[in-house]
Amino acid sequence: MSKPHALVVGASIAGPMTAYWLARAGFRITIIERFPTLRPGGQNIDIRTSGVTVMRKIPGMEPSVRAKTTTQDAIQFVNAKGKPYATMKPTGDPSQQNLLSEYEIFRDDLSGIMYDLTKDNPNVHYVFGEQVSAIQQKDKGKVSVEFQEGKLPSGEYDLVVACDGATSRTRALGLDSTVRTHMHPMNMWAAYAPVPTDYLAGSKTGTMYTALGGRAMGLGPDPAGGNRVCALAVLPQNEADATLGFRTAQKEGDEALRKHVRQHFAGTGWKTAEVIEAMTASPDFYASEWAQVKLPSLSHGRFTLVGDAGYAAGPTGGGTTLAMTGGYVLAGELLRHAGDIDAGLRAYEERMRPIIDDMQKIPPGIPTAIAPQTWWGIAIRDAFLVAVTWGNAAFGWVLKYFAPSFGGDGYNLPEYDWVE
C-alpha cells in the first residue's frame, strides 16, 4: 500500500515541524514555501510548556536550540535618557519562565534547525518559490490543488495542511473565506530587522524603551554581529480598525511599508531615530500585524491548519509552542487512526482545542501594558516593572497564573507509536 501524500504549505516553524512528525506517522510530504529560500531574519521567539516537551521528543533538537539561542542574558528597561530602571533575568527553570525564555531563539534559526531535521528525509520534498492558487475537495476524500508558479503540477493529495501564518492565503482558499475572516485584530503591529551597529556596546543584555503613543523599541544581541531590532506599535484599543494604515502600506509595497514604520516612530526620543533608519534600510526588514486566529473548526474535509494559520496566539507568548505542539498532535492522531484520516483530524481537533483555548488567553492589562499610550500609563507600568524585578524568580511564579505560557507543561501530551 502506498503512503498517504500530504501537502504542507509554509516552511517556517510550523511547516517543517509538521512535516517531521507526519513523516514519522508514515506519510510522504511535499512542503512548499512561497519565498525562494528560508526567510532570513526575524524576531526572537520562545519555546515554552508543551513546546519544550515536543522539542525533547526529537533527537538532537534541544542541544541544537541551545547552541543557537540569542545569547541574551537579561532585558533592561530604559528611560528617554537611556538610563535603566528595571532589569529582568531568566528564572533558569523551563517550567517557571518569565518574559525571557530559557529557549529564546531567533525565528530564522529555529526554522533552520527544523529544515535541517527534515531536508534529507526521503519522505519530505521541499519546493521553494511556489504557492497554492486553488483548492478543491473531491468526493473520494482527496484534495485537488493547483499551483501558481508552475513548479509543481496540479494534483490530488490525501491531506493539505496550511502552516503559512496568521494571514494565511491558503486558509482563505481552503475555507472559501477571506484572509481576514478568522482574524481577531489586537490593534498591534511590529517591524523587525538585523542592523550592523551594536547599540548595546558588546552587552548581552537586551534593551527595551517605550515612548508615548504605544510605541516601543527592543534591541537585542545578535551572535552574527550588530543587533536584532523590534519596533512594536500598540495602537488605541478602542479603535475599530487601527491597523488599516499599516495594512494599506503593506499592500502598496516594501518601500511604502518602510516609510510607514519611519513615520510612525518619528519623534519618539532616545536613539530610536537612528535605529529606525538602520532597520528600515536593512535588506532583511519585515513587518507584520499581531492578531489572534480563531476558527470554528480546525479542519474542512481533508484540509487542516497548524500553527498561526489555525490558531495564532497573539501577545501571549504561546505562538511557537502552539505550532510545535500542533504538528506533533496532528501527526500523532493521524498515526493513531491509521487508514482513517477523517477520524484522525477529528481527534486532532479534540486534543488541541483545550490547549489552544488556554494558550490564547490574553493576560490582564495586555496589550496596553506592553506599550501604554500616555505618560501616566507608562509611569504605572514602569512602577510595576520596578517592583516585580526585585524578586525575579517570584515574578516567574506569579506570571504563570496570568498567562499559561509562562508555566510548565500540564497538557499531558500522549505518546504515539511512531514509525522509525
pLDDT tens, residue by residue, 325-376: 999 999 999 999 998 999 999 999 999 999 999 999 988 888 898 999 999 9
387: in domain = no
Cell of 143: 484534495
Task: Indicate whether 110 and 176 sit together in one domain.
Answer: yes
Task: Indicate whether 37 and 143 sit together in one domain.
Answer: yes
Listed residue (163, 124, 159) closest to 4, CA to CA: 159
At 89 the pLDDT is: 83
CATH number reported for the structural domain that contains residue 224 in this entry: 3.30.9.30
The pLDDT tens digits for 160-201 are 999 999 999 999 999 999 999 999 999 999 999 999 999 999
Task: Indicate whether 139 and 33 sit together in one domain.
Answer: yes
Give the residue from 291, 321, 346 where a domain finishes.
291
The pLDDT tens digits for 322-337 are 999 999 999 999 999 9
Count CB neighbours of 241 within 10 A: 10
50: in domain = yes
Task: Indicate whether 125 and 29 sit together in one domain.
Answer: yes
For the chain, the domain total comes to 2
Mean pLDDT for all residues in the chain:
91
Task: Indicate whether 299 and 201 sit together in one domain.
Answer: no
CATH number reported for the structural domain that contains residue 36 in this entry: 3.50.50.60
The pLDDT tens digits for 206-222 are 999 999 999 999 999 99
Task: Indicate whether 283 and 318 sit together in one domain.
Answer: no
Give the residue from 291, 318, 351 where a domain finishes.
291
As a whole number of angstroms, the distance between CA 404 and CA 17 comes to 22
300: in domain = yes
Q: Do 162 and 295 touch, CB atoms closer than 8 A?
A: no
Task: Indicate whether 231 and 177 sit together in one domain.
Answer: no
Q: Is the pLDDT of residue 389 over 60?
A: yes
At 97 the pLDDT is: 61
At 2 the pLDDT is: 85
Task: Indicate whether 17 and 111 sit together in one domain.
Answer: yes
As a whole number of angstroms, the distance between CA 18 and CA 11 comes to 10
299-300, strands of its sheet edge to edge: 124-128, 28-33, 5-9, 159-162, 303-305, 299-300
81: in domain = no
Q: Specify the 3-state DSSP secondary structure of 172.
A: helix
Count CB neighbours of 279 within 10 A: 28
pLDDT level of residue 398 (50, 70, 90 thresholds): low
Over residues 276-300, the mean pLDDT reads 96
Q: Is the pLDDT of residue 93 over 70?
A: no
As a whole number of angstroms, the distance between CA 94 and CA 49 comes to 8
Q: Do 207 and 218 touch, CB atoms closer than 8 A?
A: yes
The residues, ordered by sequence, that sit 6+ positions from 292 with a Cβ below 8 Å of its Cβ are: 166, 183, 184, 186, 311, 312, 313, 314, 360
**207: domain range?**
186-291
As a whole number of angstroms, the distance between CA 185 and CA 11 comes to 24
392: in domain = no
Instruction: Report the Cα–Cα distance between both ends of the chain, in Å, rounded.
Output: 18
Give the residue from 268, 291, 314 where a domain finishes.
291
Task: Indicate whether 169 and 205 sit together in one domain.
Answer: no
272: in domain = yes
Task: Indicate whether 268 and 305 sit together in one domain.
Answer: no
Task: Indicate whether 219 and 132 sit together in one domain.
Answer: no
384: in domain = no
As a whole number of angstroms, the distance between CA 183 and CA 292 comes to 6
403: in domain = no
Task: Indicate whether 172 and 127 sit together in one domain.
Answer: yes
Give the CA angle between residues 221, 222, 226 to the nearest 5°.
Answer: 90
As a whole number of angstroms, the distance between CA 120 and CA 311 comes to 29
